[in-house]
């Protein structure tokens, strides 16, 4: 009997695929994440693997590479089934060794057509027994990192913007007010210093930390959303990473082509930079995360994939006095799928899929105190940048209102936007909020701006 292994973290999608394939004589195996998928593929040697890309524990790109490097799985055909319609993701998947690429929602006709193409009717029956394996718990605990002077011990948690721009730094008189450095936000909460992204803004942050703490040992945590250059380019200039009394823990996820450490090292190879990552004396520890929930001291961290080419994460930090969601690069699905040429498969199903994906993000940022999110384009500009992986102001405001966000900070400002344009976008956003009669507060993230997380006032019960 021909066997198919379905690797997808959404049980509903596995069930749907199973229902499509079972009547066509396929024996089904299922895995709920990439790691489990690899284990099951090695054990059962399926004829066909249907694999998602954005999954916990091991992303789909890495799964394909691992499957392709196993000579015992030479006959196994791989079809990617993913929500990502980005061309770069499609190309990467083929480079890794995928045989076909289908964008969700997957139609039976397309699926059977793809299977026909990749197997060319040359299947040899294999029939090992499939035993169900449960998805292991996704939980990790990172060692606490306390710094005596770091804010938070007294509940005085806050964040500070050091880089708010997307794509490339844009210094100059036209960006003086909001700032020209790329993505970097400092969070001081519950005794921890947590840094979100290492764009060029991490350089002034490093100088500030060095002058504030002098030679007091710092234990810093850096969370990387993804490794596009505007999110990591400042790291080679991060002063605390050169002080041997410090410890710098870098957390992030494996990329579509390579692991986190090799990508961070690559930008410091000798043709680009005089000092290698391994030569930085600040005790740098790079930790590639597998699960989507972990803690840094008393701060709870949750991660989620965002809609952006390659592997890109959003983070939510839950502190003792409030929560922060950081989604620096994201393109809302519904807008993308509603435009001509971007609906995949059946139009109604495509819209339903997009609604579902956006709902996942709404749930992720539900009732958050501070949302920092990609709002790179205004509505008119977005029409010319559909499928570039970035957000449109109107959609971001709608998402924040729906999710019951308290304060929205527009982020990842377009390098072409001067201060006046960003202020116009804020005014427009506030107009939308007023029309919706929502209590949401909107501002544009600005270098140097501090936002305090106030403890909830306790009411007597």
What does the binding site for Zn ion look like in residue numbers (CB under 5 A)?
Answer: 166, 228, 230, 329
Residue nearer to Zn ion on the CB measure, 52 or 329: 329
Closest CA to 423 of 444, 405, 402: 444
Instruction: Give the three-state DSSP class for 393.
Output: helix
> In angstroms, what is the minimal distance from the CB of 390 to Zn ion?
8
Strand order in the sheet with 27-31: 27-31, 3-7, 48-51, 77-82, 100-103
> In angstroms, what is the minimal distance from the CB of 193 to Zn ion?
23
> In angstroms, what is the minimal distance from the CB of 328 to Zn ion?
6
Residue nearest to Zn ion (CB): 228
Backbone φ, ψ for residue 202 (5° rounding): -75, -20
> In angstroms, what is the minimal distance from the CB of 437 to Zn ion?
33
Residue nearer to Zn ion on the CB measure, 227 or 318: 227
Q: Residue 55, Cα to own-chain centre: how many angstroms? A: 11
> In angstroms, what is the minimal distance from the CB of 435 to Zn ion?
30
**Alpha carbon distance 167, 412 (integer Å):** 8
Residue nearer to Zn ion on the CB measure, 357 or 376: 376
Question: Do 155 and 455 contact (CB within 8 A), yes or no?
Answer: yes
> In angstroms, what is the minimal distance from the CB of 98 to Zn ion?
22
Residue nearer to Zn ion on the CB measure, 60 or 255: 255
The secondary structure of 332-354 as a DSSP string is -HHHHHHSTTT--SSHHHHHHHH
Q: Is 23 exposed, middle or buried (0-12, 13-18, 19+ CB in 10 A)?
A: exposed
At 84, list the tokens: 């990502």
Residue nearer to Zn ion on the CB measure, 329 or 344: 329
Q: Is the peptide bond before 24 cis (omega within 30 degrees of 0)?
A: no
> In angstroms, what is the minimal distance from the CB of 166 to Zn ion?
5
Handedness of CA 71, 114, 36, 43 (dihedral sign): negative
> In angstroms, what is the minimal distance from the CB of 251 to Zn ion?
18
Residue nearer to Zn ion on the CB measure, 27 or 165: 165
At 20, list the tokens: 């499509």
Which residues neighbour 446 within 8 Å (Cβ) at sequence distance 6 or greater? Answer: 161, 164, 177, 178, 179
Residue nearer to Zn ion on the CB measure, 27 or 390: 390
Q: Is 126 exposed, middle or buried (0-12, 13-18, 19+ CB in 10 A)?
A: middle
> In angstroms, what is the minimal distance from the CB of 228 to Zn ion?
3
> In angstroms, what is the minimal distance from the CB of 412 to Zn ion?
6
Residue nearer to Zn ion on the CB measure, 88 or 141: 88
Residue nearer to Zn ion on the CB measure, 318 or 330: 330
Question: Do 57 and 39 contact (CB within 8 A), yes or no?
Answer: no
Rg (C-alpha) for the chain, rounded Å, is 23
Question: Do 227 and 263 contact (CB within 8 A), yes or no?
Answer: yes
Residue nearer to Zn ion on the CB measure, 17 or 222: 222
């Amino acid at each position: 009997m021909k066997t198919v292994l379905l690797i997808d973290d959404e049980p509903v999608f596995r069930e749907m695929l199973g229902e499509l394939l079972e009547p066509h004589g396929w024996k089904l195996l299922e895995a709920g994440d990439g790691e489990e998928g690899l284990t099951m593929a090695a054990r059962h040697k399926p004829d066909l693997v249907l694999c998602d890309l954005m999954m916990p524990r091991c992303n789909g790109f890495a799964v394909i590479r691992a499957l392709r490097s196993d000579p015992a799985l030479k006959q196994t055909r791989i079809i990617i089934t993913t929500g990502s319609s980005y061309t770069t993701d499609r190309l990467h998947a083929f480079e890794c060794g995928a045989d076909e690429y289908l964008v969700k929602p997957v139609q039976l006709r397309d699926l059977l057509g793809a299977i026909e193409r990749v197997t060319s009717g040359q299947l040899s029956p294999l029939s090992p027994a499939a035993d169900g394996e449960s998805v292991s718990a996704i939980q990790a605990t990172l060692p606490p990192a306390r710094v005596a002077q770091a804010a938070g011990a007294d509940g005085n948690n806050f964040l500070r913007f050091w880089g708010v721009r997307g794509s490339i730094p844009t210094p100059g008189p036209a960006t003086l007010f909001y700032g020209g450095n790329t993505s970097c936000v400092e969070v001081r909460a519950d005794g921890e210093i947590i840094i979100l992204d290492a764009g060029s803004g991490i350089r002034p942050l490093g100088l500030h930390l060095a002058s504030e703490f002098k030679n007091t040992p710092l234990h810093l945590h850096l969370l990387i959303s993804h490794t596009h250059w505007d999110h990591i380019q400042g790291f080679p200039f991060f002063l605390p990473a050169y002080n041997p009394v410090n410890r710098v823990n870098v957390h992030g996820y494996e990329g579509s082509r390579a692991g986190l450490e090799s990508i961070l090292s690559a930008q410091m190879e000798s043709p680009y930079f005089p000092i290698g990552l391994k030569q930085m004396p600040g005790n740098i520890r790079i930790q590639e995360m597998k699960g989507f929930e972990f803690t840094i001291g008393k701060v709870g961290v949750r991660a989620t994939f965002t809609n952006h080419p390659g592997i890109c994460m959003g983070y939510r930090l839950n502190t003792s006095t409030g929560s922060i969601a950081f989604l620096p690069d994201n393109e809302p699905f519904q807008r993308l799928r509603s435009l001509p040429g971007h609906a995949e498969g059946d139009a109604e199903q495509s819209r339903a899929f997009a609604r579902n994906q956006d709902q996942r993000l709404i749930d992720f940022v539900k009732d958050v105190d501070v949302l920092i999110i990609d709002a790179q384009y205004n509505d008119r500009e977005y029409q010319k940048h559909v499928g570039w992986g970035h957000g449109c102001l109107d959609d971001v405001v709608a998402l924040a209102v729906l999710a019951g966000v308290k304060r929205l900070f527009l982020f990842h400002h377009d390098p072409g936007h001067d201060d006046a344009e960003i202020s116009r976008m804020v005014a427009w956003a506030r107009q939308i909020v007023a029309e919706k009669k929502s209590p949401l507060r909107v501002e544009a993230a600005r270098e140097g701006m501090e936002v305090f997380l106030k403890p909830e006032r306790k009411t007597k019960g």
